[in-house]
Amino acid sequence: MDGGEPRIVDAHTLAVTPVPGLRLRPGQAARVLQVGSATLAAVAPRHGPNGGIYLIRPVQRPLLLGAGEVFVPGRDGTVVVATYRPGATRVTGLGFDGRVRWQWSLPGKVDPLRDTPAGLVVAQHPDAVAGDAELLLLNRQTGVVRRRLSDAGYAVATADRSIAWVPTRCDLDCPVIRTELATGAARRYRMPGRREPAAGAFTPDGQHLALSFSGMPADTRTPARPGFAGILDLRSSALTAVPGLATPPSQHPDITWFADGRWLVLGVTWPEEELIAVWRPGSKVTILPLALPGEPTTATLAALR
């Protein structure tokens, strides 16, 4: 879980423990990713005293790798770090020893989304202001464009073979589009009730896509509704909602999958705590008996994969 008191959740025993070696001062928060036996943590604010991206290993002191606004694990033994400066973004491949393995720049604000076998998937914005982004597949070491995945849209989920995204220049009834990274082949999926997903996660076999929706409408004429989550069958286009799950309209469930793809893991923020639950089609939602510390924050659930 991310936040001011990051924790690792053991998927087998449900034990909740602090991230070893990570010490946060009051008011600081961290984004945490698991990379094999190591952990990456970006401490916010990432710049200034004690800010930066750290590599954390058991029984070792945290190693400061560098600073950057966005980072993802690389497939070539690096951490892909993006640092924006007015007009351009520098993208760097940092080795686990802190050395620069490769580096390049692109105009605008570039956010790495995932390093895949087909290349590095990024969202490129014209500037730092949030808005339309072009989704690109790049050569990770040179930044050369291999494929343009979209002209204007936002990514919902990215996997090793596909990306799911929503176009931003469309009517209120915007589809989810799945694009194959290797070929560029695309398929459109209509969503229920003109709702656009806030987040998603592909199953490991790539045949289903979990989607998470907030209840805030895209236009002022539509009333707000509770948030929910569902599973989209990418072959039949059927969307199955998770039964009995609802969030306040301004929020949406956090979602990920267990490594076997059989169970969907859900993180739901309630007024006083963060609840984690598991579900599979045909069963009931099971709330896990976890004692999570601190104020409710958005859980990444990465440790439950």
pLDDT digits (tens, 9 = 90+) for 168-203: 877 777 899 999 999 999 999 999 877 889 999 999
181 lies in a domain? no
303 lies in a domain? yes
Contacts 24+ apart (CB under 8 A), 199-203: 199/156, 199/157, 199/252, 199/254, 199/255, 200/156, 200/157, 200/164, 200/176, 200/255, 201/157, 201/255, 201/256, 201/257, 202/157, 202/159, 202/162, 202/164, 202/257, 203/257, 203/261
pLDDT of amino acid 218: 66
Same domain for 90 and 112, yes or no, is: yes
User: What amino acid is encoded at 277 in this protein?
Assistant: A
214 lies in a domain? yes
- Backbone angles phi and psi of 63, in degrees to 5: -105, 120
pLDDT of amino acid 3: 81
Residue 148 has pLDDT above 50, yes or no: yes
Residue 115 has pLDDT above 60, yes or no: yes
pTM of the prediction? 0.88
Instruction: Report the domain count for the chain.
Output: 3
246 lies in a domain? yes
Same domain for 56 and 102, yes or no, is: no
Percent of the chain with pLDDT over 70: 90
Least confident of 104-108, 190-194, 236-240: 190-194
pLDDT of amino acid 270: 62
SS3 content of the chain, % helix, strand, coil (to 5): 0, 50, 50
Same domain for 77 and 21, yes or no, is: no
> Where a domain ends, among 65, 82, 102?
65
Same domain for 74 and 134, yes or no, is: yes
96 lies in a domain? yes
- Residues 259 and 204 sit within 8 Å (Cβ to Cβ): yes
Least confident of 9-13, 83-87, 106-110: 9-13
Same domain for 204 and 298, yes or no, is: yes
pLDDT of amino acid 145: 97
As given in the structure block, the two tokens for residue 109 are: 């604000």
Residue 63 has pLDDT above 90, yes or no: no
Same domain for 105 and 40, yes or no, is: no
The parent domain of residue 289 ranges over: 198-305
Output the domain CATH number for residue 207: 2.120.10.30
Distance of alpha carbon 274 from alpha carbon 301, whole angstroms: 11
Distance of alpha carbon 269 from alpha carbon 190, whole angstroms: 27
Residue 91 has pLDDT above 80, yes or no: yes
As a whole number, the mean pLDDT across the chain is: 86
Read off the pLDDT of residues 67-80 as tens digits, 9 standing for 90 and up: 888 899 999 889 99
Same domain for 59 and 72, yes or no, is: no
161 lies in a domain? no
Same domain for 8 and 85, yes or no, is: no
